[in-house]
């Protein structure tokens, strides 16, 4: 029997399509020349330059603060929402369900504008706090969806078994439910973290003057002409994201066996 090579070839083509731009970017960040087209020898000077850019570090700090805070809040709220959605099936719950899904399909630009109008209407000064609020809003939906999927195949007789053996609600939650749902909650949190970290459109609308996050800064830098510093920055971001994903997968696998 002869096996077709088409699946292999399409897979390779797809991988190339996805990763060539990223690989080019990474290589370019080590390019001694200022121009992407010409190779000026291996160099880390863009990284060195990156270290000196105060503006960039301020943006990194902003991004991190917002991402960590938004991840924490949206994970807590989203997990609670998932529990609520899972345990009751009333008409109100169906509305709730719909409301959770909405932010996933509403165009980002619409969310950005509406949040901006809301903040202005409520006279909340634009700044890191409004960015944080905006990020929590859409991250909740993603966390809730991921956790809800896990809850759907959670065996609730385990909770009854724990109660039967004398466990209080709190012990059930701490010893049985949370440990078993941890991979799902962690996955939701990581999704929220990455979404918050690289959100541009919504942030662009609700960020005040002093609250520039990394994606917004990169955008404004590119507007003033592409610089290899951005390549270095992106490479670092890539490395961090990659590390986080690998660690998360390790954790999830450990829980399962």
Partner 1 sequence: MNDFLEFKNVSKRFGTVQAVDNVSFSVKRGEFFSLLGPSGCGKTTLLRLMAGFEQPDNGSILLDGQDITQIPPNQRAVNTVFQNYALFPHLTVRENIAFGLRVARRPRQEIDAAVTEMLKLIQMEDKADQRPNQISGGQKQRVAIVRALINRPRVLLLDEPLAALDLKLRQRMLLELDLIHDQVGITFLYVTHDQGEAMSLSDRIAVMQGGKIEQIGIPAEVYEAPKTSFVASFIGDTNFVDGTVTALPMPNYCRVRVEGLGEILCYNDKQKAVGDRVNLSLRPEKFHVTLEQPQEDARLNVLRGKVENIIYAGNHTRFWVHIGERRIATYHQHRRYHLDEKPIRWEDEVWVWWDADSGYMLDDYAPLLEERGITPPPETIHSANGKEQRI
Query: Which parts of this chain interact with partner 1 (CB under 8 A)?
Result: 155, 157-158, 160-168, 171, 175-176, 179-180, 255, 257
CB of 97 to partner 1, least distance (A): 23
For partner 1, the closer CB: 187 or 221: 187
CB of 17 to partner 1, least distance (A): 39
For partner 1, the closer CB: 55 or 160: 160
CB of 172 to partner 1, least distance (A): 9
For partner 1, the closer CB: 114 or 169: 169
For partner 1, the closer CB: 89 or 160: 160
CB of 160 to partner 1, least distance (A): 6
CB of 154 to partner 1, least distance (A): 11
For partner 1, the closer CB: 77 or 159: 159
Query: Rounded to an integer, what distance in angstroms lies between the CA atom of residue 117 and that of residue 112?
Result: 9
């Amino acid at each position: 029997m002869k096996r077709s090579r088409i699946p292999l070839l399409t897979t390779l083509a797809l991988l190339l399509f996805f990763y060539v731009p990223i690989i080019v970017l990474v290589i370019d960040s080590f390019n001694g020349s200022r121009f992407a087209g010409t190779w000026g020898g291996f160099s880390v000077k863009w990284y060195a330059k990156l270290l000196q850019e105060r503006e960039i570090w301020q943006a990194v700090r902003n991004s991190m603060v917002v991402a960590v805070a938004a991840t924490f809040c949206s994970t807590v709220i989203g997990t609670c929402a998932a529990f609520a959605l899972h345990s009751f099936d009333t008409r109100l719950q169906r509305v709730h369900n719909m409301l959770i899904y909405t932010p996933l399909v509403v165009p980002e630009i619409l969310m950005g504008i509406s949040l901006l109008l809301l903040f202005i209407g409520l006279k909340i000064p634009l700044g890191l706090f409004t960015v944080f609020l905006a990020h929590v809003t859409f991250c909740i939906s993603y966390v809730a969806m991921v956790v809800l999927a896990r809850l759907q195949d959670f065996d609730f007789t385990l909770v009854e078994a724990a109660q039967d053996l004398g466990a209080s609600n709190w012990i059930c939650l701490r010893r049985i439910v949370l440990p078993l749902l941890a991979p799902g909650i962690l996955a939701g949190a990581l999704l929220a973290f990455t979404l918050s970290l690289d959100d541009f459109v919504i942030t662009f609308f609700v960020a005040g003057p002093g609250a520039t996050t990394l994606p917004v800064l990169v955008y404004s830098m590119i507007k003033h002409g592409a610089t290899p510093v951005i390549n270095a920055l992106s490479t670092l971001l890539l490395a961090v994201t990659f590390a986080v994903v690998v660690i998360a997968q390790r954790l999830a696998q450990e829980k399962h066996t």
